Structure 1
Amino acid sequence: MDAQSYNAALTELRTVRDEIKRARAALTKLEADRDQRIGQLAAYGKAKAERIAPAAGLSVADIVALAPSLAPESLTTAEPAPPAPAAAPAAPAADDTLVEAAPEPAPQTGAAAPAMTGRQPSPAVSPAQAGSPADPGQGRAAAPDALRELPSIPEGPAGDSWFTHTPKLVSQSPNFTQQARSTVFLDTDTGVLVHRDQTHRLDLGDASVAAVLTAVFHVLPEGVERIYITAGDPWHRDADRYPYLRDAVAAWLNAPTPGWRTDTGRGRDRMAGHFVHARNPVGRYQREGGEQHVEIRSVGEWFDVDGADPATVRDAFVLLWQALRRHWNDAVIMGSPSQTGRDLWTRTIPQRGQHADGFPVLSEELRGLLHATAGQGRNELLTPPRVPAQLPQLVEYDRTFAYAKHTWKSPVGTPRRITAHTFAAWSEKEQQRALYGSGHWQVRVTVPDTWNHVGLLPAPAPGDRAWHYPAAPNATFTTWAGGPEIHTALTNPLAPWRIEILDGILWDDGKPLDDWAKKLKETWTNLSAQAHFQGDPQQARAAHLASRAVRSILLYGIGAFAQRPRMVTGTTPRTMERDVPPDAEIISFDNELITWQKPTGFSRDPNAHPEWAAAIWSGARAALLTQRHRDDNTYAGALHTPPGTVVAFRTDALYLTAPQPWPHHHQPGDYLLKGHLTHPVTAPTTEEELLALRDAGRTALIQTGGGA
């Protein structure tokens, strides 16, 4: 083969590649349509998986996975689990101490497992040899073949070396003043542009990036640095031409912009290149041959505009800035709530005292482990037969400003490894203190044989970072969980779960986020009061939006501490295809450009603290199950409802089949009645169906005079 035929073959190969991508997109749409039709067929009372399977070209197992209600009787009736060796009684006397046998013979340590105290007799938390295989006598495993396996800490010195900090990487108080950026608010549907106290009406033509930049800089020749889109979502204008929204967004961001090019970044908060997101993208542009920079962003990053005009949105940002300035005299609203949240937090780092030298960043190995093993919000839809096919009602409770409830304590200091052997050697009091402290634990979990409620602990499910919550009696699984969830599993009001400690990470307890969170909570309270008592409807609406922005600052600020491995997005002209990085994934293309992305691992971010995010997320998930209201001497949460009444969990929200008498005092973490359908409804089987019922329930509650 000579050079000419080689290049010709490459051209033909690229053509085949493009055809494959189009075919895959078409196949994905067809498969989604097939799965939806299977769900519709499953709703028929006499539907059978054996008949649907050949019609769909799938196996009976595939049909049952898509529609669990169609499982044949022989599959839904579990074989009795073999008795576990040395298993403890299901309902021990209050003074019993349960000591579970280790799955494999272990050296005798002489240490007793702790009997955890609580409202119910607690099980022992027994040590097991780290990494030992699950005992087949411990119950039916939760589909081990289908689940992804979570990473573990290597044994011996290799794993011990993880327990340190990254050299010369420390969160410290900044020694500079953040610079504000000139900002405008634009509705691309109406063309209304608001800049300070001025309002303009623009002709945006096709609402492309080029049209937006041309129109804005025509009426504001001195320039602006940030354009917030309040309505119109121009990046979705050609969505029907692409199989995925991300493709449409990437095409909009990367369309030709005469006189402009993609920004390469500047300043201390250097942000370069576009951010391709299906709903809230960010376009960053720089004037050709000049120093003019501009961002185009969605205000949806901050709050749901819900029909507010650009002037009201501008007023919301003004009120937000004024409220933050009462606590931070140098507060600046940055492009996103996560950027703003972390910048404000750095300005609460003490300059004297215990942490005056800052907060060191964990080793990259521990950050990677936390990234893989610490999930965020609980999102779970329970479908028939776990709930009735016809729900008597659907009630939505949303935890008000939920994450702010869980910032009072966070991990600090150099982490310690707590192996199963170390844990076993401790006294019962030391074990209890460790489990109630700031820790992240690898555990083997067994569900009680009498359990008939929702799952308590997250377990890895198929898919990248997917989680589910096993609840079948006697199910056994291995996972990682935070202290709040371990505590809930041991002391829940129904029946204690059996927990075996395999390995763990333990920090000292500290308050690195307490001052930051208190200031944000006070800001939120102030703006919420303004929204309630303000006589001017527009200002009341603006104050409400500003209070929602404070929630986003804390919520996304916490998420930013998690510091996911970075994904870089870039574009390459089709004529220079060989310049696409060899490790990049092509995510979209057209006749002019190829858009690609590639992982770059963890950056040297001095404010990366996934241990803080993990602790808060664990506390929030636990509070969805049970939460004490001391002032009212009562409890709220899913475990305080009858079995079969929980329809769904959605981050901070619970969906139930009946209203609950839970107190709401407008404090962070309180359960707020957010939606209520008082009539029977068909149980949702997809997220889309749940969201449709959620919206209907909120509308119905407002119409009856309730709601937020």
Structure 2
Amino acid sequence: MDAQSYHAALTELRGVRDDIKKARAALAKLEADRDQRITQLARHEKAKAERIAPAAGLSVADIVALVPALAPHSLTEGEALLQPAPPGTTGPPTTGTAESAPGTHPQPVAPAPPAVPSSAPGPAEATPVTPPQAPRTLPSIPEGNTGDAWCTHTRSLASQRPNFTQQARSTVFLDTTTGVLVHRSQTHRLDLGDRSAHDLLTAVFHTLPEGVERIYITAGDPWHRDADRYPYLRDAVAAWLNAPTPGWRTDTGRGKDRMAGHFVHARNPVGRYQRENGDQHVEIRSVGEWFDLDGDDPATIRDAFVLLWQALRHHWNDAVLMGSPSQTGRDLWTRTIPQRGQHAEGFPVLSEELRGLLHATAGQGRNELLTPPRVPEQLPQLVEYDRTFAYAKHTWKSPVGTPRRITAATFASWPQKEQQQALYGCGHWQVRVTVPDTWNHIGLLPAPAPGERAWHYPADPGTTFTTWAGGPEIHTALTNPLNPWKIEILDGILWENGKPLDDWAKKLKDTWTNLSAQAHFQGDAQQARAAHLASRAVRAILLYGIGSFAQRPRMVTGTTPRTLERDVPPDAEIIGFDDELITWQRPRGFSRDPNAHPEWAATIWSGARAALLTQRHRDDDTYAGALHTEPGSVVAFRTDALYLTQPQNWPHHNQPGDYLLRGQLTGPVTAPTTEEELLALRDAGRTALTQPAGEA
């Protein structure tokens, strides 16, 4: 670009800036008008939030926030356990079979933001006042026999070893930018038309008339083709999946691992289609579920899947790669359930009450950004450490057996040694926590924060809060190398220590080690890259396999014609709409999933969060983690990554859990205040670390 073009582009950019400003002002005016109309409607004696919400294009919660008097009884009587988990980098993709309501189109979905985007604040008089959010109150176990009855298993529901062989599905890899399709050893170039789902299916089945069952999109993200027409990516994805596909209809599922309907996700959706005559089924999926790509062609990605399958076959002679890493991970785990011995009958599923309690009180990865004045406004450096294959480090011990409730009185009656053993074991504890008066470092235990399923980590001296936490974190808070925290046990659940995941995790770790070695020593660049991608896929199998044990409450989504707004379920959240249809979602509780074990996921997540604070390296006789850094030097946590203001001399032997230096940005660096700023600095730091000396 020459200087003249540069200045012309700047002029055009300023014009776009002004248009955005005008659009935001217009939107703010419309939103103010909408809110005023809602307030007027609320004056009607029979006004109901569930009737006003679809007319306004908002959720019931948004209406209630604007007019608290309209809060329905069902929202004020505490249904917190049935609320969905928000989308994020720490949790796994939701899978399962949706239930359909009469006159609706079923789709398994991930929870979404409201369909109407927020805007920059308009004039002061036009900006509605939103009541400040109070911290969530976490649920407790009921007193007496009612609470004791929670500590059981669900009758006739247990994880058992399958008695069938999983069937492989014919798979192709398609780059929708170039039209390149790879099927086994053949490469084709397709005309994909306008890249709609119908045009993709038509082109693929014309080229391969014998049919395929799974189409992995490797590049192009065709579901984002009309993203500029929608306020959220998720709306664009839903429109792409639900667009007419003559000759095809939404798949209703088949087989023992029954999956039905489309899965609406902003970046990794799943389209499931079935021929009108019912004789062909096909999935359109994103390969981004398995690993991040860097311009890799479909042939390299095919080779990665082949290497992955071959490596898994060394440990599972019936291994099959399923559509997603979470499905694959859970299927492989079931094939490690013992055929004889103590757990040959399987692993029973907890009561629905305990599963709900764990869902509401056991968070996932720690994601926290520390901003000035807790860190300097100008950082001397920004250094990123990422725990290698982190969750694999914490699978050696998991809860088994019938859970026991440990009340405060019971715990207090135990001798100190028994108390320590309990806290070091597999337990989930309700505690009252007090930060020491002399504390000057980061927070150690998660506490509920405003917002659904949000967590923060109090660190101010003298702060007292009540929360739930796993044994590894409680033990760390009591024995940390700086100053023990005061912990009061209020209630708890304790299991026997077992190893239900150990065999599965060891096999995956061995597979990961072998593929990582191939990537390092392979002389052919394409095969080395394929081996690296395959090793990342193993990580995803374990990571998302663990997440799938958590089992979220089911969400049902449906559509209702705009002319029938009265038929939108009263407890539904409006997640999208157009001129013809309203799209909504509603919670439906837990399914009878035989592989639901949130106690395993919670234990692993707790162990991983504790290891971000302190982790012993026995062979090196040293420790690593945030508590072994100077106060004020921790900038952020992101699941299994730690961002610091100075480098550390921590050992790395390429073993699960080791801290790997991933990025380093020399200062001064302006401290990030938003996640977007942190991610931009992270990418710059990774680039700087890999650049040869002398390059800028």
Please give the range of the TM-score, normalised by the shorter of the 2 chains: 0.7 to 0.9
Deviation at 1:14, TM superposition (A): 9.4
**Which sections of structure 2, spanning at least 5 residues, go unmatched?**
1-49, 64-113
Cα distance in 2, alignment partners of residues 488 and 412 from structure 1? 22
Deviation at 1:20, TM superposition (A): 4.3
Cα distance in 2, alignment partners of residues 27 and 516 from structure 1? 44
Structure-to-structure mapping, 1:669-684, within 5 angstroms: 669-684=657-672
Please tell me whether the aligned partners of residues 380 and 668 of structure 2 are also in contact (alpha carbons under 8 angstroms).
Answer: yes
Aligned residue in 2 for 1:390: 378
Aligned residue in 1 for 2:347: 359
Which of 531, 535, 541 is the matching residue for 2:523? Answer: 535
Aligned residue in 1 for 2:319: 331
Alignment of 1:519 with 2:507, yes or no, is yes
Q: CA RMSD in A?
A: 2.4
Cα distance in 2, alignment partners of residues 30 and 335 from structure 1? 38
Please tell me whether the aligned partners of residues 305 and 313 of structure 1 are also in contact (alpha carbons under 8 angstroms).
Answer: no
Alignment of 1:315 with 2:404, yes or no, is no
TM-score by length of 2: 0.82
Cα distance in 2, alignment partners of residues 296 and 18 from structure 1? 34
Structure-to-structure mapping, 1:625-640, within 5 angstroms: 625-640=613-628
Which of 401, 412, 419 is the matching residue for 1:431? Answer: 419
Deviation at 1:16, TM superposition (A): 9.4
Please tell me whether the aligned partners of residues 274 and 569 of structure 1 are also in contact (alpha carbons under 8 angstroms).
Answer: no
Please tell me whether the aligned partners of residues 115 and 576 of structure 2 are also in contact (alpha carbons under 8 angstroms).
Answer: no
Deviation at 1:305, TM superposition (A): 1.3
Structure-to-structure mapping, 1:542-621, within 5 angstroms: 542-572=530-560, 574=562, 580-621=568-609
Structure-to-structure mapping, 1:418-567, within 5 angstroms: 418-567=406-555
Deviation at 1:680, TM superposition (A): 1.2
Aligned residue in 2 for 1:120: none
Please tell me whether the aligned partners of residues 53 and 574 of structure 2 are also in contact (alpha carbons under 8 angstroms).
Answer: no
Q: What are the superposed Cα offsets for residues 422-455 of structure 1, whole Å, 9 maximum, x if unpaired?
A: 0111111111111111000000000000000000
Q: What are the superposed Cα offsets for residues 91-110 of structure 1, whole Å, 9 maximum, x if unpaired?
A: xxxxxxxxxxxxxxxxxxxx
Deviation at 1:18, TM superposition (A): 5.2
Deviation at 1:460, TM superposition (A): 0.2
Aligned residue in 2 for 1:197: 185
Q: Which amino acid aligns with 1:463?
A: G
Instruction: Classify the secondary structure of the residue corresponding to 2:373.
Output: coil
Count of residue pairs the alignment pairs up? 594
Deviation at 1:586, TM superposition (A): 2.8
Q: State the 4+ residue runs in structure 1 displaced beyond 6 angstroms.
A: 13-16, 22-27, 53-59
Q: Which amino acid aligns with 1:541?
A: R
Q: Which amino acid aligns with 1:389?
A: E
**Which sections of structure 1, spanning at least 5 residues, go unmatched?**
1-12, 35-52, 66-144
Please tell me whether the aligned partners of residues 573 and 585 of structure 2 are also in contact (alpha carbons under 8 angstroms).
Answer: yes
Aligned residue in 2 for 1:170: 158
Alignment of 1:341 with 2:430, yes or no, is no
Which of 681, 687, 691 is the matching residue for 1:703? Answer: 691
TM-score by length of 1: 0.81
Q: What are the superposed Cα offsets for residues 141-166 of structure 1, whole Å, 9 maximum, x if unpaired?
A: xxxx8210000000000000001000
Alignment of 1:235 with 2:223, yes or no, is yes
Cα distance in 2, alignment partners of residues 626 and 14 from structure 1? 52
Q: Quickly say closer, same or farther: Cα 1:319–1:439, change in 2 above 3 A.
A: same
Cα distance in 2, alignment partners of residues 14 and 152 from structure 1? 33
Please tell me whether the aligned partners of residues 427 and 470 of structure 2 are also in contact (alpha carbons under 8 angstroms).
Answer: yes
Q: Which amino acid aligns with 2:482?
A: L
Please tell me whether the aligned partners of residues 428 and 471 of structure 2 are also in contact (alpha carbons under 8 angstroms).
Answer: yes
Q: Which amino acid aligns with 2:443?
A: G
Aligned residue in 1 for 2:119: 30
Deviation at 1:470, TM superposition (A): 0.1
Structure-to-structure mapping, 1:127-166, within 5 angstroms: 146-166=134-154
Instruction: Classify the secondary structure of the residue corresponding to 2:601.
Output: helix
Higher relative contact order (CA 8 A, sep 6+): 2
Please tell me whether the aligned partners of residues 250 and 595 of structure 1 are also in contact (alpha carbons under 8 angstroms).
Answer: no
Deviation at 1:590, TM superposition (A): 2.3
Q: Quickly say closer, same or farther: Cα 1:467–1:302, change in 2 above 3 A.
A: same
Deviation at 1:245, TM superposition (A): 1.1
Cα distance in 1, alignment partners of residues 586 and 203 from structure 2? 34
Aligned residue in 1 for 2:81: none
Q: Which amino acid aligns with 1:543?
A: A
Cα distance in 2, alignment partners of residues 300 and 178 from structure 1? 23
Cα distance in 1, alignment partners of residues 553 and 52 from structure 2? 32
Please tell me whether the aligned partners of residues 171 and 361 of structure 1 are also in contact (alpha carbons under 8 angstroms).
Answer: yes
Cα distance in 1, alignment partners of residues 528 and 473 from structure 2? 39
Q: Quickly say closer, same or farther: Cα 1:439–1:387, change in 2 above 3 A.
A: same
Aligned residue in 2 for 1:121: none
Q: Which amino acid aligns with 1:354?
A: Q
Aligned residue in 1 for 2:366: 378
Q: What are the superposed Cα offsets for residues 393-447 of structure 1, whole Å, 9 maximum, x if unpaired?
A: 1000000000000000000000000000101111111111111110000000000
Q: What are the superposed Cα offsets for residues 281-332 of structure 1, whole Å, 9 maximum, x if unpaired?
A: 1111111022211111111110001110111011000000000000000000
What's the % identity of the aligned pairs? 84
Aligned residue in 2 for 1:290: 278
Cα distance in 2, alignment partners of residues 257 and 695 from structure 1? 39
Cα distance in 2, alignment partners of residues 229 and 173 from structure 1? 32
Deviation at 1:373, TM superposition (A): 0.3
Q: Which amino acid aligns with 1:653?
A: A
Alignment of 1:644 with 2:632, yes or no, is yes
Aligned residue in 1 for 2:76: none
Aligned residue in 2 for 1:402: 390
Q: Quickly say closer, same or farther: Cα 1:261–1:330, change in 2 above 3 A.
A: same
Alignment of 1:663 with 2:651, yes or no, is yes
Q: Quickly say closer, same or farther: Cα 1:218–1:592, change in 2 above 3 A.
A: farther
Structure-to-structure mapping, 1:76-225, within 5 angstroms: 146-225=134-213
Cα distance in 2, alignment partners of residues 225 and 349 from structure 1? 29
Please tell me whether the aligned partners of residues 54 and 582 of structure 2 are also in contact (alpha carbons under 8 angstroms).
Answer: no
Cα distance in 2, alignment partners of residues 583 and 284 from structure 1? 27
Deviation at 1:19, TM superposition (A): 5.5
Instruction: Classify the secondary structure of the residue corresponding to 1:29.
Output: coil
Q: Which amino acid aligns with 1:438?
A: C
Q: Which has the larger radius of gyration?
A: 1
Q: Quickly say closer, same or farther: Cα 1:193–1:27, change in 2 above 3 A.
A: closer
Deviation at 1:594, TM superposition (A): 3.3
Q: Which amino acid aligns with 1:225?
A: E
Cα distance in 1, alignment partners of residues 54 and 351 from structure 2? 40
Please tell me whether the aligned partners of residues 316 and 542 of structure 1 are also in contact (alpha carbons under 8 angstroms).
Answer: yes
Aligned residue in 2 for 1:273: 261
Deviation at 1:589, TM superposition (A): 2.2
Aligned residue in 2 for 1:253: 241
